[in-house]
Amino acid sequence: MICISILLSLISAVLYRIGGSSLKIPNITKIRDCGVPFLGCTIVAINHWPLHLMAWLGLILSFGLAWGSMTSYFKRKGSDAVWWNWMLVGLAFGIAFLPYAWATGLWFLFIYRTIATTIFVVIWSESISNAMLEELGRGFIFSITLLIL
């Protein structure tokens, strides 16, 4: 399952980047907004299979929150993101799986993942100056850290 999770995380990185690119495709951001959370939830589902009903409900709600976490850098349009914007992005990535933690009781793992996404997104985003690599990294971080759950 780890190899499948790594592969899905790599695909997630690509979808995250495509959704942030300037390709002239209508609604291109939806590739990121929907695709990355879907792959993330798939990673959780295959690593926790079989899921009970409450876990499925938590995962569905987490998908919705993860979708929302993909839609903002928590900054004003036209301004550059700084470290605290990336902190909020990483925190949103982590908090998105609160319903799943609630449904499964995986509170400590949820907290560890939230801390990890927050720290890794800040470090990655502040260290990398290439927009393509930066976005690939954030997409990978979102998904690969789901192995913590």
Write the pLDDT tens digit of every residue in 53-94: 999 999 999 999 999 999 999 988 888 889 999 999 999 999
How far apart (Å, rounded) are the C-alpha atoms in residues 61 and 53?
A: 13
Three-state DSSP class for residue 57: helix
**What does the pLDDT read at residue 139?**
97
**What does the pLDDT read at residue 69?**
97
- For residue range 110-144, what is the model confidence (pLDDT) as tens digits? 999 999 999 999 999 999 999 999 999 999 999 99
**What does the pLDDT read at residue 20?**
87
Three-state DSSP class for residue 21: coil
CB 141 within 8 Å of CB 120: yes
Tokens of 110: 């949820």
**What does the pLDDT read at residue 99?**
98
Percent of the chain with pLDDT over 90: 88
Is the alpha carbon torsion for 121, 124, 130, 133 positive or negative? negative
Residue with the two structure tokens 């789901």? 146
**DSSP category for residue 106:** -
Host domain of residue 45: 2-148
Residue with the two structure tokens 């801390």? 115
Give 22's pLDDT tier (boundaries 50, 70, 90).
confident
Average pLDDT value over all residues in the chain = 95
Identity at 32, one-letter amino acid code: R
**For the chain, how many structural domains are there in total?**
1
CB 99 within 8 Å of CB 58: yes
